[in-house]
Structures are given as C-alpha cells and as structure tokens.
Amino acid sequence: MQTNSSHKLHVAIIMDGNGRWAETRGMPRSAGHEVGADTVRSIVRTAIGHGIGALTLYAFSTYNWQRPEPEVAGLMSLLRHFLLVEAPELRRNGVRITVLGRRDRVPLGLARAITAAERATAGGTRLHLRIAIDYSARDAILSAVADGVTAEALAERLGTEDVDFLIRTGGDQRLSDFLLWECAQAELYFTKVQWPDFGPAEFDAALADFAVRTRSFGAVPAA
Ligand code: IPE
Ligand code: IPE
Ligand code: MG
C-alpha cells in the first residue's frame, strides 16, 4: 500500500456483521462478537504494520442499547475484557488508546477499564486507536456546539480528526450516525464480508482500493 509519507492516514471502520456471521453458522450472536474481537486484534496489528496514524473503530452505538439485555451485557463485558487484556501489549507497541462516546451509561467495570487503558497508553505515538462506545455522532456534535464554536474548535471538541477512509463491513451501505463531521471528505468503502471474516488480506484490498482513488475535495482533480 502506498501512503503519502507526510500525512498519516486515519482509517475508520464500522465493524458490522458479527450477528449474521454467527447466525449463518448456527451459533449465538455472542459468538460472532467474540470472533469479531479477534478480528480487531488482527486489524490493529495490520494497521501498525502499515504505519497508519489513526484507526477509529465503531464498537457500540448509542442505538445498540435497544438490543436484548444479554447481548448488551455480553458486549460490555467483551469490551472491558478487550481493554484489560490488550492494553499492556498495545502500550508496548506504541499504541495510544482513547475511547469516544458517553461514559456515564456503561457499566462501572467498563468505565474503569477505559480510564485505565487510556492512562496506560497515553504515551503511545505510533498508532492512535480510538474505540467508539455508546457513540452517536449527532450527540457528539450537539454537545460540542453547546455555545457557538469555530469549525476547528468543534473538531477539537469532537476529539477525532478528519477521516480519510471509511470502511463498513457486513453489506449495508450507511453511516449509522458514525463520525458525521469527520467523514465530510472521506472515501467510503463497503464490503459484504462480515466483520469476523475481515482479515488482513481484506484490509489490504480495501487499502489498495483507497490508494488508487483520486481525491478532489471539490476542486477539479489534477489531470
Ligand atoms: C456489529 O455486528 C457489532 C455491533 C453493532 C455491536 P452486529 O451485531 O450489528 O451484526 P449484524 O449486523 O446483526 O450481523
Ligand atoms: C453500526 O452497526 C454500529 C456498530 C458497528 C457498532 P449496527 O448494526 O448497529 O447498525 P444498523 O442497525 O445496521 O444501522
Ligand atoms: Mg449490524
């Protein structure tokens, strides 16, 4: 993959399709989420290997609270477990973890794991891994604009950077209220591959697709 050396890429991923992946295999949806967590590990490693600057992952949307309580509880516990188990190795690999979204509605154990992971990895400069939990882009924008702000100050308050490349797995072609502001000029990539099957080869194929696109930002593209 070719990336412009002066600008480190920000890749955002809507990790969709865990439930369908499990259901088509006669497994409970929770099994799809567990395999999906393994996919996260592998994709983070791949991102580090490619020198990607920032990776923002949509793990749990504000709308996902509407799911059955056992599935929600399973996801909360999986996220907590992921942060507790992965933070030390991510720290060793120079990854800084931050979490986007509301903190006041997640279980206390997860809230603590978030704070601990953020503190432990605060010095990481290689890859900025952002995990969106109880996240809604609309909520994020609304709380950021509470009192008139500039675009720059708004971006700062939203706590992320402009997305260069947005990937959604699972076959649906929508944003689901993810990073609305930040995706203003993002290149979009939709794949039918379900998240648990999205391995380094699929990630590479997506990045290769991005690498040959012409971004014009409203101007006439250079010939
Ligand atoms: C994405 O997979 C994970 C979360 C939204 C938490 P889904 O659980 O939405 O999987 P599908 O879309 O039902 O297959
Ligand atoms: C989007 O997936 C949110 C995450 C991947 C965390 P959903 O499965 O929740 O989105 P919809 O319901 O298909 O829009
Ligand atoms: Mg889904």
Residue 173 has what pLDDT?
96
Atom of ligand 2 nearest to the CA of 135: 6
Phi-psi region of 138 (alpha: psi -120 to 50; beta: other; left: phi over 0): alpha
- How many angstroms from the chain centroid is the CA of residue 126? 16
The CATH number of whichever domain residue 37 belongs to comes to 3.40.1180.10
Is 2 within a domain? no
Distance between Cα 122 and ligand 2 center (Å): 29
pLDDT in tens, the chain (223 residues): 444 557 899 999 999 999 999 999 999 999 999 999 999 999 999 999 999 999 999 999 998 999 999 999 999 999 999 999 999 999 999 999 999 999 999 999 999 999 999 999 999 999 999 999 999 988 888 877 876 677 788 888 888 889 999 999 999 999 999 999 999 889 999 999 999 999 999 999 999 999 999 887 766 666 5
Q: Is residue 121 part of a domain?
A: yes
Q: What is the pTM of this model?
A: 0.87
The preferred substitution site among 13, 14, 15, 16 for testing ligand 1, maximizing ligand atoms within 8 Å of CB, is: 16
Tally of residues, the chain: 223
Closest CA to 126 of 48, 43, 195: 48
**Sole residue written with tokens 């209220």:** 177
106 in any annotated domain: yes
Q: In 3D, which of 220, 165, 155 has the Cα closest to residue 11?
A: 165
Is 5 part of any domain?
A: no
The pair of three-digit structure tokens given for residue 130, joined into one six-digit string:
């952002």
Quickly tell me which residue has 């997506």 as its tokens: 206
User: What pLDDT was estimated at residue 1?
Assistant: 47
Q: Is residue 216 part of a domain?
A: no
221: in domain: no
Asked if 33 and 74 count as a contact pair (C-beta separation under 8 A), the reply is yes
Give the domain extent around 84.
Answer: 10-211
Please say whether the beta carbons of 12 and 183 come within 8 A: yes
Domain assignment present for 133: yes
Q: Decide whether any atom of ligand 2 lies within 6 Å of the 72 Cβ.
A: no
Per the listing, tokens 């504000």 go with 62
Residues with CB under 6 A from ligand 1: 15-20, 60, 64, 75, 170
How is the chain split among helix, strand and coil, in percent rounded to 5? 45, 15, 40
95 is a domain residue: yes
Q: Considering its fold, how many domains does the chain have in total?
A: 1
CB atoms within 10 A of CB 156: 13
Is the distance from the beta carbon of residue 167 to the nearest atom of ligand 2 less than 6 Å? no
Amino acid 215 reads R
